[in-house]
Amino acid sequence: MSTENEGTEAPATPPTPSAPPTPPSTPTPESTTSAPTHPGTTPEPTPEPTSAPTTAQTPASPASPPPAPAPADAPTVAHASAPGHAPAPEQVGAAAASGAGWPPPPPAVPAWGAPPPPAAHAPAAPRRRTGGLVAAVLAAALVAGGIGGGIGYWAAQRGDDGGSSTTVSSSEAPAAFKRDPGTVAAVAAQALPSVVTIQAKSGGSQGGESEGGTGTGFVYDQEGHIVTNNHVVASAADGGTLSVTFPDGKSYDAEVVGRAEGYDVAVLKLTNAPKGLKPLPLGNSDKVAVGDSTIAIGAPFGLSNTVTTGIISAKNRPVASGDASGGSNSYMSALQTDASINPGNSGGPLLDASGAVIGINSAIQSTGSGFGQTQAGSIGLGFAIPVNQAKNVAQQLIKTGKPVYPVIGATVNMNEKGEGATIASQGSGGTSSVTANGPAAKAGLKAGDVITAFDDHPIDSGPTLISEIWTHKPGDSVKITYERDGKTATATVTLGERTGDN
Positive or negative, the CA dihedral 290, 293, 297, 298 is positive
User: Is 79 known to be catalytic?
Assistant: no
333 with 471: CB under 8 angstroms? yes
Distance of CA 363 to the CA centre of its chain: 31
Single-letter amino acid code for the residue at 87: P
DSSP assignment string, 412-476? B-SS-BSS-EEBPSS-GGG--SB-TTSHHHHTT--TT-EEEEETTEE--BHHHHHHHHTTS-TT-
User: Is 225 known to be catalytic?
Assistant: no
Q: Strand 241-245 to strand 225-228: parallel, antiparallel, or no bridges (unpaired)? A: unpaired
Active-site residue among 31, 346, 362, 461?
346
Q: Rounded distance, CA 307 to CA 323, Å? A: 24
Q: Rounded distance, CA 295 to CA 187, Å? A: 9
Q: What are the CA-CA distances from residue 478 to residues 30, 390, 451, 474, 494 (Å)? A: 116, 21, 13, 11, 6
Q: What are the CA-CA distances from residue 378 to residues 36, 303, 307, 313, 382 (Å)? A: 92, 15, 14, 15, 8
Residue 114 — φ and ψ, nearest 5°? Answer: -85, 150
User: Is 264 known to be catalytic?
Assistant: yes
Active-site residue among 25, 225, 231, 362?
231
Secondary structure (3-state) at 195: strand
3-state SS, 206-235, equals CCCCCCEEEEEEEECCCCCEEEECHHHHHH
267 with 225: CB under 8 angstroms? yes
Active-site residue among 264, 323, 352, 449?
264
Catalytic residue list: 231, 264, 346
